[in-house]
Amino acid sequence: MCSRNSLFVDQADLEGRFDAEVVADGGYTPRYNIAPGEDLYIITNDAPDEIDANHAG
């Protein structure tokens, strides 16, 4: 089943909430309609202080 996601908080709130910094190429842009297969902003165990874009697949 397909689904959509949204991530629409501003960058300062996102970084503050997770105590991490956005390092994604192109920066961060809030989005209300993230389709399957589009990049999502993630935090990994390998870099818990970084928010980066990753292909959702």
pLDDT tens-place string over residues 24-51: 888 899 999 999 888 889 999 999 999 9
Question: Radius of gyration of the chain from Cα atoms?
Answer: 11
The beta strands (E) that lie in the chain are given as 5-7, 21-22, 31-34, 39-44, 47-55
> How many domains does the chain fold into?
1
- State yes or no: pLDDT of 56 exceeds 80: no
Tell me which DSSP letter residue 38 carries. S
Model's pTM, two decimal places? Answer: 0.81
Beta bridge partners of 5: 34
The whole domain housing 32 covers 5-55
